[in-house]
Structure 1
Amino acid sequence: MTAADPELAFIQGKINRLLQALDRSFVERATHVRVALLAILSGHHVLLLGPPGTAKSLLARALCASLHDATLFEYLLSKFTHPDELFGPVSIPGLKEEDYRRLTEGYLPRAHIAFLDEVFKANSAILNSLLTLINERVFHHGKHRDEAPLISIIGASNEPPDPEGGLGALYDRFLARMSIPPIADSEKFLQVCLGEAPAYKPVATDKLTREEIEWLRERAKKIGADDGARKALLRVRERFSEEDVDASDRRWRWALELLKMSALTSGRVRISPLDVVLLEHCFGDPGGDQATVRMCVRESLVVLDEHDEYLTPLRQLWAEIEADAASPDLSTWRLGAVRRLDRFDDACRRARELLDKHLEHLQQELARTPWCTELPPELVAGLVAVRTRLQAFERTSAQHRAAVAAYGPASLLISRMRQASQDRGYYGSDVKLWVCAPTDAEDDAIGLDTDGAPTRRSSYHHERAAPVVVDDTNAHRLLVGKDTGATLASLVAQMVAQMRTRTSSRASGPAERNETSQAHLKQVFERCGPPPLPSTPPTAPGGRDGTEKEEGVHARVQGGGGTAGEGERPEHRPGGEGPRPDRDGAARLDQARGHRRGPRPAGGADDAGA
């Protein structure tokens, strides 16, 4: 058997047309119609609970009319109902021959569909025979044991049975239990009361034959369950246990027979999570703990950690971005960082495409499933959570890309020096060297004192050499390079050469200080390092474990999720000089220097839920 079986497709067409006709005739009864018809196809019984006048008996007759040459037996039970009224009178000729038997033609034992109104008013005189007939499709009378052609019994009652009334066994025989409320919508109410809803008259060729129903049941036995459905079923069972919902092994077996029929008539060879939704009609008491059952079933469809196939490659790529040692050559590092981000963005795009295909597949599956009228929001909650995390990845990547583009090592280094500098007077300092970034004005230069302390310019410092410009290449090597000693020595040599060239002719004092040895300048420069970083990195919106907190996701899917790196965007100085020294961007670049890595993204990997 395959989902493309032509005979199955023919029966599917019949079912779809019958349901469309039923929907036109029964207002606000789409779920009741579908669950009842599905129970009939799978060979189980239906219980309808509701006040009088809610079309319970009319629905039973319509369902019977959907079957070809099916006989309907309906009866209103009371505590005075005699067995003869249900099972037929005793045969008088049989008694004369000492053969006790009943004349069952036209009664319940010979019916295909039975509608028993006020079913829980059955007395003990008929209860045992009724239980055997319902469960085993066998009727015992005297020494006779007759096979009953019963397809399904539809029971109706105004209320559930009294737990102390001894009717628990009969109640348990009804697999599908549904409450039928009065019509809620005003327009639909008028439509019914004014007789505007058409009477149910199915086309004769659309009626299902008993042979077709038997064919479906045989093939439904071969239906399996996919991994998602298996996990969902186990989660439902666990939730039922937690909430003390009565769920016997027998009822579970019956319920799975109904789910198998749902999958088969939807053109699938396995039960999917979409079929699992139907379990909310198979357990619990309508009007009692039905809300608890519905909650258990719906919550079991919400899986936030079962879609890691979308996020795991992204976490791995982001870990590579963080773990990759930065090249001391600025151009090489910048090119490598951009390429790694390009690969990461491509992976995000592929994950989004796969996610969209998954959502599209669910929509297509819903369109092929006649038993569900809408896609349960809980079923897509996991995918919505994945989409939220994917958006966080994309935002973090964009922030990282912007940080790489705005990264100015020289401005960062001078900014750190300025942050740690002191404002000394003329007589309180012995500045050996003035340095600045390429984009800094001379008034913003930082002085390096003989004691290794960086010094801001003072109004008393009139006689000094022009500042030495620290370019991005050397600053980057000092920030991320491993051999900082050699870089410092090369940089100091360049500084000395620049100072000799640029020394003011009026500044004889500073000119003498510019002759300081390279070793001493190197020592001064090394002592001017940035202050230590806090050991704890900022927390990402989704938490360090990469999990999103979806508020209300079990009751209603919302698109929450927070902005990745919210409150952690690096502020850049004018002219693209990089993150400010007193902001997170500079702190992360400082951390990069301590770990010999390149600039970290704004918000870090945690923002991406890594």
Structure 2
Amino acid sequence: MTTTITSGGVDWAGRLRTGLVDRVERSFTGQREIVETAVICLLAGGHLLVEGPPGSGKTTLARAVAAALAPAPGTDAWRRVQFTPDLLPAEITGYEQPLLTGGAAPFRPGPLFAHVVVADEINRASPRTQSALLEAMEERRVTVAGRTHRLPDPFFVVATQNPVDLHGTYLLPEAELDRFTARVAVGYPSRAAETAIAAGRLTEPEGAGPPHLRAEDVLAAREATAAVAVTDALVGYAVAVAEATRTEDALVGGVSVRATRALVAAARARAFLDGRGHADAKDVQRVAVAVLAHRVVPSGRSGGDAAAVIGDLLTRVPAPENAACAP
């Protein structure tokens, strides 16, 4: 059940549900939980990794999110980068173009200078090009020829990869995986949804209609999300879940402190999207697999299923009572 949370007289949670979640789901039909996870990442100021087979709608999801946002003046709503082995870092960050007449070389912004960046098949680029994303994703800036350039705000990377076809790919290093707030696995839609897609009966084709939200609306919604109450008991629970991954025999190593912070931020965003002014243990549990599973490496004892290991840990780590999590 949702309630109304206002900030500055605006029901931002309601606007996000109708102007973003509902709208994107009309394009990315039948997979509302994945749509909500994408919006949670946006609200938490993070980035999303989408895995799935070709033709399952990974790029459609990112484009639908971008189509709902009106860009700030001089900024693109979204840009797509097709990652390939020969892609150079300057082709995504931008470069300085020398002038024949001399003088200071002007900076030519790359496709990272957009509110939503679709990094398609990110694991096909070389490690050097992948690393060019690290500064951008973590610090919201790029450095070219010794000069730093700020990226637009909000800045949201949606990266896609095919987890099955690994020919000619470079596995994402742990440092880069850790930059993604959450990972979702896109499967095939239900038969009813696939029938609607095949018949062209989507109620709102991808990108149809004017944008529902401005860039400043997203920033205001982020401020309201940051105001969602989180108690020490709840933070302690998130820390306990993270610590459990570091001592679990079914995992090789555990999650970072960045992951713990992302878990709390995502739980806040989950509560906010549901219209609640405080987060509780159920919010942590609902986002834990998406936030943590891609950051750990299963051992031979786990059967290779990190999500199942995280799910099992959640049943064993004691959760605080809901009353203790209320403001």
TM norm. shorter chain > 0.5: yes
Distance 1:297 1:163, change over 3 A: farther
CA contact (8 A) 2:14 2:275 kept: no
* Aligned with residue 289 of structure 1, among 300, 306, 309: 306
Do structure 1's residue 108 and structure 2's residue 125 form an aligned pair?
Answer: no
Q: Corresponding residue for 1:24?
A: 26
The structure with the greater share of residues assigned to strand is: 2
1:234 Cα deviation after fit: 4.8
Q: Which amino acid aligns with 1:270?
A: H
CA apart distance, 1:214: 1.9
Aligned-partner Cα distance in 1 for 2:98–2:163: 39
Where 2:213 maps in the other structure, the secondary structure is coil
Residue of structure 2 in register with 1:475 after alignment: none
**Is the Cα contact below 8 Å between 2:13 and 2:272 reproduced in 1?**
no
Note if 1:263 corresponds to 2:266.
Answer: no
Deviation at 1:19, TM superposition (A): 1.9
State the partner residue of 2:146.
143
Task: Confirm or deny: 8 A CA contact 1:263 1:270 kept in the other structure.
Answer: yes
Q: Which has the higher helix share?
A: 1
Count of aligned residue pairs for this structure pair: 300
Q: 1:172 aligns with which of 174, 178, 182?
A: 178
Q: Distance in 2 between matches of 1:201 and 1:270?
A: 33
After superposition, give the CA deviation of every residue in 1:528-556 in whole Å (9 maximum; x if it has no partner): xxxxxxxxxxxxxxxxxxxxxxxxxxxxx
Q: Secondary structure at the match of 1:153?
A: strand
Bigger relative contact order, structure 1 or 2 (CA pairs below 8 A, ≥6 apart):
2
1:82 has 2:103 as partner: no
- Determine if contact 1:26/1:197 at 8 Å carries over to the other structure: no
**Could you tell me how far apart the structure 2 residues matched to 1:272 and 1:9 are?**
24
- Could you tell me whether the CA contact under 8 Å between 2:124 and 2:170 is conserved in 1? no
1:133 corresponds in structure 2 to 136
Q: Secondary structure at the match of 2:184?
A: strand
**Shift, 1:260, TM fit:** 2.0
- Pair 252,22 (structure 1): closer, same or farther in 2 beyond 3 Å: same
SS, match of residue 149 in structure 1: coil
User: How much does 1:34 deviate?
Assistant: 0.5
Secondary structure class of the residue paired with 1:79? coil
Choose the corresponding residue for 2:201, options 187, 196, 213. 196
Letter in 2 for 1:250: R
Instruction: Report the 3-state secondary structure (helix = DSSP H, G, I; strand = E; otherwise coil) of the residue aligned with 1:188.
Output: helix
Q: Percent identity?
A: 21
Separation in structure 1 between the aligned mates of residue 170 and residue 7 of structure 2, nearest angstrom: 51
1:71 matches 2:77: yes
Give the Cα–Cα distance (whole angstroms) in 2 for the partners of residues 158 and 285 of structure 1: 14
* Structure 2: gaps (5+ residues): 296-303
Match in the other structure for 2:300? none
Equivalent residues of 1:116, 1:154 under 8 A apart: yes
Alpha-carbon contact 1:110-1:148 (below 8 Å) kept: yes
Question: Over residues 24-65 of structure 1, what are the superposed CA-to-partner deviations in whole Å (9 max), with x where a residue is unaligned?
Answer: 332332111000111112210000011110111111000011
Question: Which residue in 2 is equivalent to 1:254?
Answer: 262
Q: 1:170 to 1:237 in 2, by over 3 A?
A: closer
Distance 1:153 1:216 in 2: 18
1:279 to 275, 278, 288: 288
Q: Relative to 1, partners in 2 of residues 1:248 and 1:79: Cα closer, same or farther, differing over 3 Å?
A: same
Say if 1:49 and 1:156, in contact at 8 Å, map to a contact too.
yes
Structure 1: which 5+ runs fail to align?
A: 310-610
Q: CA offsets per residue over residues 475-514 of structure 1, 9 Å max, x none?
A: xxxxxxxxxxxxxxxxxxxxxxxxxxxxxxxxxxxxxxxx
Report the residue type matching 1:196 in the other structure: R
* SS of the residue 2:91 aligns to: helix
Contact 2:79 2:114 (8 Å CA) reproduced: yes
For residues 119 and 95 of structure 1, do their structure 2 counterparts lie closer, same or farther at Cα, with a shift above 3 Å needed?
A: farther
Q: 1:248 to 1:83 in 2, by over 3 A?
A: closer
C-alpha distance in 2 between matches for 1:6 and 1:132? 32
Partner-residue secondary structure (3-state), 1:139: strand
1:182 is paired with a residue of what secondary structure?
coil
Runs of 4+ more than 6 Å apart: 160-164
1:175–1:254 Cα contact (<8 Å) kept: yes
Per-residue deviation, residues 248-284 of structure 1 (Å, max 9, x unmatched) = 1111112212222333343433211231111211012
Q: CA deviation at 1:227?
A: 7.2
The CA distance in 2 between the partners of 1:94 and 1:178, in whole Å, is 48
SS of the equivalent of 1:174 reads: coil
Distance in 2 (alpha carbons) for counterparts of 1:5 and 1:121:
43
What is the correspondence of 1:280-429 to structure 2 with a 5 Å cutoff?
280-285=289-294, 288-297=305-314, 300=317
The two structures have a TM-score, normalised by structure 1, of 0.44
RMSD of aligned Cα (Å): 3.3
Report if aligned partners of 1:100, 1:143 keep a CA contact under 8 Å in 2: no
The structural deviation recorded for 1:203 is 5.7
* CA drift at 1:194: 1.9
SS at match of 1:270: coil
Corresponding residue of 2:55:
53
The partner residue of 2:242 within 225, 237, 248 is 237
- Cα offsets for 1:333-389 (capped at 9, x unmatched): xxxxxxxxxxxxxxxxxxxxxxxxxxxxxxxxxxxxxxxxxxxxxxxxxxxxxxxxx
SS for the counterpart of 2:200 is: coil
Counterpart residue type for residue 81 of structure 1: L
* Letter in structure 1 aligned against 2:229: G
**1:432-489 Cα distance to aligned partner (Å, 9 max, x none):** xxxxxxxxxxxxxxxxxxxxxxxxxxxxxxxxxxxxxxxxxxxxxxxxxxxxxxxxxx
Instruction: Give 1:95 shift.
Output: 9.1
Distance 1:229 1:88 in 2: 42
Q: Which amino acid aligns with 2:185?
A: S
- Which residue identity is paired with 1:215? A
